[in-house]
Amino acid sequence: MSSEIQLFGIFGYPVIHTMSPYMHNEVFEQMNLPYFYTAFEVLPQNLAKSIESIRVLGLKGVNITIPHKEAVLQYLDEIIPSARFIGAVNTIKNEDGKLIGYNTDGLGFITAIREDLSIDPAEKSFLLLGAGGAARAIAIQLALEKCRKIYIANRTLSKAENIAYIIKKNVPLCEANPVLFNPAEISRIIKDVDILVNTTSVGMKKDDSKLLDSEFLSSLYAVIDIIYNPPETLLLKEASRKGLKTANGLGMLTFQGALAFEIWTGIKPPVNIMRNAIIKQLKKTDT
C-alpha cells in the first residue's frame, strides 16, 4: 500500500458477527497507530485469490476464521510448528511478501486461564467436551504446555480419536484419551479430571438442552466454557452455584487477538482495552 495507513483484516464466511475489528481498531486508535482493521467476506472458492491479495495489496496481517482455517495452510510460505500440529491457521503475518501462518486460538485459551483464573495447565488433567476446530487447537496447546492428561469427549468418536492421535504422535508425554460423549463415559472418567472445558456450541442458544448433569461437576476445580455470548451459559451457572472457578470464552477471544496483534506489530497491546471493546460491541448487538 502506498498510503501511510497499514491495513489488517479478517477473512471468513460468514464474517458479519466478528468482534475482531472492534478490538483491534480500538487499540490502534488509543495507541495512536496509523493502522486499520476490517472484515472481508471471502467465499471458499475465492480463498486462494484472497490470500494472494495480502501480498498484492500489502496487508500487514490477517486473521482467518471459519471456514478457512484448515484450507489456508496450502497457500502460505511458512507455518509455525504448533499451527502445523493443530492443522489450522488463524493468523497470518506478511513479512515483505512472505506469508507466515500461526495459530493463536490455543495459546489464547492458555493465556486466558493463566491470567484470568491463575491456572497453570502443567500437570493438570483436562476434559474437553467437543472435538471440533476449537477443541483441536486447545487440546494440542494444552499438551504442548505439559498438562498431565486430556480426555476428549465427543458424539462423533472419530474426531476425538484424531485429536488424541496427533497428541500421541507429537507430544507423547501427555496422555490423550478419546471418549464417547455420554453419561456413562463421563461418569467413568470425571473423578480423574481437574478442569472441564466446553468447546461444543451447546449453550449458545436459549433453548439449548443441558450439556451435562450438574452432579458431574462436584469434584472439579474449574469449569471453562469457550462460548462468550451469552456470557454465562447454563453450564457456567451450575458450576458457579457449586462454588467452582469459572470463565467464559471472552478471555480466549481477547488473548487470541492480543497474541495476533503482538505477532504483527511487535507490541504487547493493552488487553483490557480489547476486552472492553468486545463487551461494548456485544452489548450493542444484544439490544
Q: Which positions from 148 to 177 touch ligand NAP by CB under 6 A, shown as an x/- string?
A: ------xxx--x------------------
Maximum distance among all Cα pairs of the chain, rounded to whole angstroms? 61
- Choose between 134 and 144: whose C-beta lies nearer to ligand NAP: 134
With CB under 6 A as the contact rule, the residue among 23, 140, 196, 226 that binds ligand NAP is 226
Q: How far apart are CA 86 and CA 102, in angstroms?
A: 10
Q: How far is the CB of 228 from ligand NAP (least distance, A)?
A: 5
Q: What's the start-to-end Cα distance of the chain, in Å?
A: 38
Q: How far is CA 243 from the centre of its chain?
A: 26
**130 interacts with ligand NAP by CB under 6 A:** yes
- Choose between 94 and 254: whose C-beta lies nearer to ligand NAP: 254
Q: How far apart are CA 9 and CA 168, in angstroms?
A: 35
Site for ligand NAP in 180-199 (CB under 6 A): 181, 199
**200 interacts with ligand NAP by CB under 6 A:** yes
Phi/psi at 70 (5° precision): -90, -45
Instruction: Catalogue the long-range contacts made by 215-221 (C-beta closer than 8 Å, 24 or more residues apart).
Output: 216/186, 216/187, 216/190, 217/242, 217/244, 218/242, 219/190, 219/191, 219/193, 220/190, 220/193, 220/194, 220/195, 220/196, 220/244, 221/194, 221/195, 221/245
- Choose between 31 and 66: whose C-beta lies nearer to ligand NAP: 66
Q: How far is the CB of 265 from ligand NAP (least distance, A)?
A: 20
Q: How far apart are CA 61 and CA 30, in angstroms?
A: 19
**139 interacts with ligand NAP by CB under 6 A:** no
Q: How far is the CB of 34 from ligand NAP (least distance, A)?
A: 28
Q: How far apart are CA 71 and CA 40, in angstroms?
A: 17
**133 interacts with ligand NAP by CB under 6 A:** yes
Site for ligand NAP in 227-266 (CB under 6 A): 227-228, 249, 252-253, 256
**17 interacts with ligand NAP by CB under 6 A:** no
Count the Cβ atoms, other than its own, within 10 Å of residue 123: 10
Residues assigned a catalytic role = 69
Q: Quick one: which segment of 8-16, 71-79, 125-133, 262-270 binds ligand NAP (CB under 6 A)? A: 125-133
Give the CA count within 13 Å in the CB-facing half-sphere of 24.
Answer: 26
With CB under 6 A as the contact rule, the residue among 134, 140, 144, 259 that binds ligand NAP is 134
C-alpha cell, 99: 506469508
Site for ligand NAP in 30-89 (CB under 6 A): none
Contacting residues toward ligand NAP, per CB under 6 A: 105, 130-135, 154-156, 159, 181, 199-202, 204, 226-228, 249, 252-253, 256
